């Protein structure tokens, strides 16, 4: 369903926003997260399970809620971007962006000619309400789409200024795990070099007024801590981690309660 992008509208108003990830790409779990009040769900095509059909079902579930449907795609492949956009996503996230050339290619793949290279199926695609809003979608979709470049390597940190300067890039999103991996210290967030590099990436984005600042919580900070430090979009939990942690806690509570009970 083509509509005003609810996440982009909140960001434009200066509201702090909270997202969640979906690696399961299941419409019921995504619908539940939307009902819980998340501002956006990022359907993960880099590490997740789903394909286009499942993703479209998820977007249909989200259309009844003021929760934006985003997709993290595996790379800046223009064919992949075209297919994802045609099913009606409200934002794309590209992992591991390290230079302005990649950022420009991302934006071009999201724009119809003469402003880009996106193939034209707006007369029939779900994104344009199956053609019922064809011309409106053609003329205004670029303004509604949120384009996010993930900064996940030392090279990406060094190129923050040139990536952010690309017209059409709306947000830079720091990925701390792969960033630590690019230093050869994957997940070692107690390491001084890792901490300093994450801080450098965040500072480089925080000081800009031409892109929004997104991040995963890291370095023992909560989502609220991240907002207090200038992050405008925090994406923390996922359908998988929410279910895992709730299940482990439920089983643990049960086993603990049994230990305190006298045998009958």
The pLDDT assigned to 263 comes to 73
CB 22 within 8 A of CB 59: no
Question: How far apart are the C-alpha atoms of 153 and 162, rounded to whole Å?
Answer: 15
Q: Which residues are catalytic?
A: 47
Indicate the average pLDDT of the chain. Answer: 97
Judge whether residue 1 has pLDDT over 90: no
CATH 3.20.20.60 fits 6-259, yes or no: yes
Other Cβ atoms within 10 Å of 95 Cβ, number: 23
Q: What is the tens place of the pLDDT at every residue in 14-69? A: 999 999 999 999 999 999 999 999 999 999 999 999 899 999 999 999 999 999 99
Q: Is the peptide bond before 114 cis (omega within 30 degrees of 0)?
A: yes
Crossing angle of helices 27-36 and 239-259, in 10° steps, is: 80
Mean pLDDT of 94-100: 99
């Amino acid at each position: 369903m083509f509509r005003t992008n609810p996440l982009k509208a909140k960001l434009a108003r200066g509201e702090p926003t909270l997202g969640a990830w979906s690696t399961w790409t299941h419409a019921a779990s995504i619908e539940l997260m939307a009902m819980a009040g998340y501002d956006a769900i990022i359907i993960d095509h880099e590490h997740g399970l789903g394909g286009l059909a499942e993703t479209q079902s998820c977007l249909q579930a989200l259309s009844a809620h003021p929760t934006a449907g985003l997709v993290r795609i595996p790379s800046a492949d223009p064919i992949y971007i075209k297919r994802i956009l045609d099913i009606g996503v409200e934002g794309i996230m590209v992992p591991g962006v390290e230079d302005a050339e990649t950022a420009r290619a991302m934006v071009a793949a999201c724009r119809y000619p003469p402003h880009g290279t996106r193939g034209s199926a707006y007369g029939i695609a779900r994104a344009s309400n199956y053609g019922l809003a064809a011309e409106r979608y053609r003329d205004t979709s670029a303004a509604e789409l949120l384009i996010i470049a993930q900064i996940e390597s030392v090279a990406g940190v060094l190129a923050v200024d040139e990536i952010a300067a690309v017209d059409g890039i709306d947000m830079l999103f720091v990925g701390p795990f792969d960033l630590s991996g690019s230093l050869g210290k994957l997940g070692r967030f107690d390491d001084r070099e890792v901490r300093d590099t994450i801080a450098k990436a965040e500072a480089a984005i925080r000081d800009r007024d031409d892109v929004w600042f997104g991040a995963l919580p890291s370095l023992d900070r909560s989502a609220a801590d991240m907002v207090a430090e200038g992050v405008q979009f925090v994406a923390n939990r996922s359908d998988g981690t929410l279910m895992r942690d709730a299940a482990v806690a439920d089983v643990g509570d049960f086993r603990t309660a049994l230990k305190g009970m006298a045998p009958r």
